[in-house]
Amino acid sequence: VTKIGVLTSGGDSPGMNAAIRAVVRTAIYHGIDVFGVSRGYNGMIEDEIEQMNSRSVANIIQRGGTILKTARSKEFFTEEGRKKAYENLRKRGIDGLVVIGGNGSFTGAYKLSQEFGIPCVGLPATIDKDLYGTDFTIGFDTAVNTAVSCIDRIRDTADAHDRLFIVEVMGRHAGYIALHSGIATGAENILIPEDETSLDEVIASLSEKEKRKKLVNLVVVAEGHSSGGANGVAEILKSHLPNLDTRVTILGHIQRGGSPTCLDRLIASRMGYHAVESLIEGRHDVMIGIFQNTINFTPIEVAIREKQRMSDDWMRIVKILAS
């Protein structure tokens, strides 16, 4: 490779900037020209592509969001859109691409490589941690720590008023943010799509607690849970437990912003470095992951298809520890 492009795509996640910085500086170290593509695949189609240098990525490792901006591109899912995008890469001689994002972004990368032979490497960046082939995704640690500090605050006020709080966290179809933040804040119940815990069980446990005058309770619910999120859960719980003073908090996009944690900066730097090394070594169409503290390469089509498996001891731990 002599010229590579880098883009961030899909929902932003804290640490994307650290990843961009690592890609740009590693490429420059190897004498490779590096181009930043703005606004994900939309910018590739609209020709918003500019050469970057070492200074373009100064003072960004600590910043949330993404200096390249991001988007979920509808046009890129059309053949015509991809053709336009490819032309803009071709005219600059870009012969490698680093795509920082999640599942949807990798699907785009896979198509680009299949249809036009552009070698791509994916870096897993999503707060949802819903990707196969890696123990970490860039942004998850920051998001879950943000959720933990918010839920700690909620517990203070819940405790002061003897209230039941239903807190909804993000995660799309995955329950990792809910599971991790719920365990770390001592939530009495956690509702995630990967687990079968029914609302009947939650009602039974809360009414047992009501009988022994334990009125302060936190239920952390993943937005992807079948109950329809915190409002859906609250409606059902209120109708069965009318004496509990119940409130709902939806954390929302707060979880996406903020300065990345040390862990997110480290994995972003390590993965960004390996993305460029991988392109140089001719290892294409893979997603870079970290697995058992070793860099792991998952074919992009596998990363798109497979789901990360959640260890099954977690929900048992929740039930035993939150009594």
> What's the min distance (Å) between Cβ of 318 and ligand F6P?
21
- Of 144-152, 165-173, 232-240, 297-305, which part binds ligand F6P (CB under 6 A)? 165-173
- Residue 191 tokens read as 């509702």
CA-to-CA separations, 64 to 16, 171, 176, 290, in angstroms, rounded:
7, 18, 20, 21
Phi, psi of 296 (to 5 degrees): -125, 140
Closer residue to ligand F6P in complex, CB, 117/252:
252
> What's the min distance (Å) between Cβ of 256 and ligand F6P?
5
Among residues 12, 47, 95, 128, the one annotated as catalytic is: 128
Q: Is 11 in the site for ligand F6P (CB under 6 A)?
A: yes
Alpha carbon distance 17, 256 (integer Å): 13
283: helix, strand or coil = coil
* Catalytic-residue membership of 128: yes
Q: Residues 211 to 250: which contact ligand F6P by CB under 6 A?
A: 223
> What's the min distance (Å) between Cβ of 180 and ligand F6P?
14
Closer residue to ligand F6P in complex, CB, 17/126:
126
Alpha carbon distance 90, 84 (integer Å): 10
Enumerate residues 6+ apart whose C-beta is below 8 A from 40: 7, 8, 9, 10, 69, 70, 71, 72, 73, 101, 105
Q: Residues 168 to 187: which contact ligand F6P by CB under 6 A?
A: 170-172
Structural contact between residues 187 and 322, judged by C-beta atoms closer than 8 angstroms: yes
Q: Is 256 in the site for ligand F6P (CB under 6 A)?
A: yes
> What's the min distance (Å) between Cβ of 45 and ligand F6P?
19
Q: Is 128 in the site for ligand F6P (CB under 6 A)?
A: yes
**Catalytic residue annotation:** 128
